[in-house]
Amino acid sequence: MSLTAGDGLSRRKLLAGAAGLGAAAALSACGVAGRNPSASASASKSAVAAPDLSATDKVVNWSNWPQYIDIGKGGKRPSIDAFTKSTGIKVNYNEDYNDNDEFFAKVRPLLEAGKDTGRDVWVSTDWMVARLIRLGYLQPLDKASIPNAKNLDPSLANPEFDPGCVYSLPWQVTFAGIAYNPKATGGKKVTTMDQLLHDPALKGKVTLLTEMRDTVGQLMIEQGVDITKFTAEQYTDAIAVLQAAKDSGQIKGFTGNDYTKPLASGDTAACLAWTGDIVQLKADNPELGYVLPEKGFSVGSDCLVIPAMAQHKKNAEELINYYYDPEVMAQVVAYINYVGPVLGVKDVLAKTDPELTKNELIFPSQETLARGQIFRSLSAAEETSFNQQFQTLVAG
């Protein structure tokens, strides 16, 4: 495992205190880190393209989520360094994508005005990708410039929000499940949303996620609702259950990735959590428990996209093509421990880190994948209504 054991560092060390596929039946509708679709691309507008400076300006500007790529000694990023060495293209890599809506608020005024955002590629969660497509803020990918796109897992090739992956390609896939600290639960396992919301032993020591699709979606799944085709009434009913749990004092708060330190310390007894974070936490805290509920769990993805008016589109496509090489994606997966979308990654890691390939949270079985559900697409009106209800719950 050249990017972890070999250099003495791992993502878990940097996350301390911070924040393979298959089963077409389970994931074929998925745009598949950080998390789920919200609108069809059918109503999308045409994105504006700028003159491409790639041939003369060997640079690409990339925005991504924090700690979402391999890191080596001295904070270097080995895969990026190797890309620059092989292509001569300098990567200005920025970890300035901390929240989908926050990032959208930064770039939307520029995109609305038809101006360059200063970024050539970024990684948005699939439901945000749907919004960007609908508003005409993304450029179609030139697949001739991304021949390695052939390595995309077939189950991910036709997402509902971007049929045929015209505007996006998955970066990583993530699942939401239930994590717990046995020291804080009295040794009790926590395996259901019902326990999170109603077990007196957990009162005041439970956190849920600020991602609406994961929190509300997970509850609806446990209620027996198919979140690929739920109704507005079913959504509102789930919000009411969550509100009652919050009002009772059962829930102490809603978090992003910042659940990790309280969970490890025991200040949080149990919470909704994402697989990649927990794989890393368990490396230092093996006593922590994590389950993907038997009734099902929510599935999401973060996707590479090229915005309108990007100045270096061809360079961005060359970067995407590079990461769709199984050898390169294997380096990333070995470090960040999410589910990679590229075929051949497991075969590569079977030679360098065979133990990692046995981890069900990174290389899930067909049986596990069959329990995954993707939160259905929302119309613009539904997205507004559902978000308002959820934000009232979170902030109220």
- Residue-wise pLDDT for 36-72, tens only, equals 334 344 445 668 899 999 999 999 999 999 889 999 9
**For tokens 């992956």, what's the residue?**
165
Reported as a single tens digit per residue, the pLDDT across 85-143 is 999 999 999 999 988 889 999 999 999 999 999 999 999 999 999 999 999 999 999 99
pLDDT given for residue 256 in this prediction: 82
pLDDT at 250 > cutoff 60: yes
Among 142, 159, 158, 161, smallest CA distance to 43 is for 161
Q: For residues 129 and 305, give the distance between their C-alpha atoms in angstroms, rounded to a whole number.
A: 8
User: In this predicted structure, what is the pLDDT of residue 205?
Assistant: 98
Cβ-defined contacts of 282-288 (< 8 Å, 24+): 283/10, 283/12, 284/12, 284/16, 285/181, 287/181, 287/182, 287/183, 288/179, 288/180, 288/181, 288/182, 288/263, 288/264
> Picking from 25-29, 180-184, 254-258, 361-365, which range would have the lowest pLDDT averaged per residue?
25-29
pLDDT digits over 194-211, tens only?
Answer: 999 999 999 999 999 999
| 19, pLDDT greater than 90 | no
| Structural domains for the chain | 59-167+306-324 (3.40.190.10), 175-299+378-395 (3.40.190.10)
5 has a pLDDT exceeding 50:
no
Give residue 257's pLDDT band: very low, low, confident or very high (50, 70, 90). confident
> How does pLDDT run across 280-320, given as a tens digit for each residue?
899 889 999 999 999 999 999 999 999 999 999 999 999 99
Q: What is the DSSP letter of 205?
A: -
Per-residue pLDDT band for 258 (boundaries 50, 70, 90) equals confident
What percent of the chain is predicted at pLDDT more than 70?
Answer: 88
Q: What was the pLDDT predicted at 44?
A: 56
More confident residue, 274 or 35: 274
What pLDDT is recorded for position 23? 36
Cβ distance 227 to 217 under 8 Å?
A: yes
Highest mean pLDDT among 20-24, 52-56, 173-177: 52-56
Q: Check pLDDT > 70 for residue 266.
A: yes
